[in-house]
Amino acid sequence: MTERITEVAVGATRTEGGTRTRSYRVGGASALPGMGDAGARPLIALEICDDPALWPVVVLEEVGDLAGDLSGWAKAAEERWGADLVRLVLTSTRRRGFDDPASSGKAVGEVLAATGLPLIVEGSIDPALDTGVFRRCGEAGEGERLLLGTAEAERYRSVAAAALAYGHAVLAQTPIDINLAKQLNILLRETGVPHDRIVIDPYTGALGYGFEYSYSVMERVRTAALAGDADLAMPVISAAQDSLTVREVREAPEGERVETAVQWEFYAAFSAAVAGAGIVCVRHPGTVGMLREAIADLWGGEGWR
């Protein structure tokens, strides 16, 4: 394993043309964790949303009033829970009859104003809405080097266009398949998105619900890149989004529900970090601190090489 993972810039500080208080370069590893130079430690993104009706109950119970207060939620992600990144999921666009793309741009602006952290934006999932939503999001974050998502094989042009127009990076998602991941990266490049502006999302299934496939696909994507496949040499993001709605969490006894939720997210996110992911995303605030400590520990190793 000799090649390096491409570095992707996320977030822009004042000197870089944005307003973030920090920015990151994700990637840079030349080996998997524990097998050589694994680059900078993985970043932890806390997910928040603009329409809590579609959010896991166990998180809503934890965040309380913040659920309706995007600024407060984003601020708390940084100041109270210590996330590295905020990931804004525009759940409002998932509602039937959604027709207000301007509100998506506003939500992005609101979060950017509330926190100095770099931002990942998860836009619409309906091709009919994509163009409007992505343009507004891109525009609202111009200069801030958002990580804008999600591009898929069937619908990547709107995201790509918005990213190119406003200087953002793109999340490229494919369902748990190394070849599909590679193809999408090639498609994006042909559209004009350079490789150092793509982050691979190999679609992470929840622990116990497809995670075995996801884990191996992450390892395969990483080992292929490190063996020289340039079309897979982008950083990987892992977001096991269904983690908090799995049966084990829903049916946990009242007094254990929060802890079960946190552990369920933790085990999947930490495993993704071991598999070489550069960004891991979680939804429960309680998972962030635990993950941060564990990742610091994972990066604090002395090998024998």
Residues lying near other proteins in the complex (CB under 8 A): 32-35, 175, 207-209, 211-213, 215-216, 219-220, 223, 247-248, 252, 256, 259-260, 262-264, 266-268, 270-271, 274-275, 290, 293-294, 297-305
Report CA Rg, the chain: 18
Copy the structure tokens of residue 210.
């497809």
Q: How far apart are CA 252 and CA 88, in angstroms?
A: 27
Looking at residue 302, its amino acid is: E
- Nearer to ligand B12 among residue 211 and residue 270 (C-beta): 211
Residue 208 binds what, of ligand B12, other proteins, none (CB under 5 to 8 Å, by partner type)? Answer: other proteins
125 binds ligand B12 (CB under 6 A): no
Q: How far apart are CA 2 and CA 97, in angstroms?
A: 50
Window 187-216: contact mask with ligand B12 (x via CB under 6 A): ------------------x---xx--x---
Residue 65 binds what, of other proteins, ligand B12, none (CB under 5 to 8 Å, by partner type)? Answer: none
Question: Which of 180, 272, 281, 282 is the binder for ligand B12 (CB under 6 A)?
Answer: 180
Q: How far apart are CA 81 and CA 286, in angstroms?
A: 8
Q: Whole-number minimum distance, CB 25 to ligand B12, in Å?
A: 29
Show the DSSP H helices in the chain as ranges.
57-63, 70-79, 101-114, 127-140, 157-166, 178-191, 211-226, 247-250, 257-274, 285-299
- Nearer to ligand B12 among residue 213 and residue 299 (C-beta): 213
Q: How far apart are CA 91 and CA 102, in angstroms?
A: 14
- Nearer to other proteins among residue 104 and residue 263 (C-beta): 263
Q: Whole-number minimum distance, CB 250 to ligand B12, in Å?
A: 12
Q: How far apart are CA 90 and CA 53, in angstroms?
A: 12
DSSP state of 209: B
177 binds ligand B12 (CB under 6 A): yes
Report the interface residues with ligand B12, using CB under 6 A. Answer: 175-177, 180, 205, 209-210, 213, 242
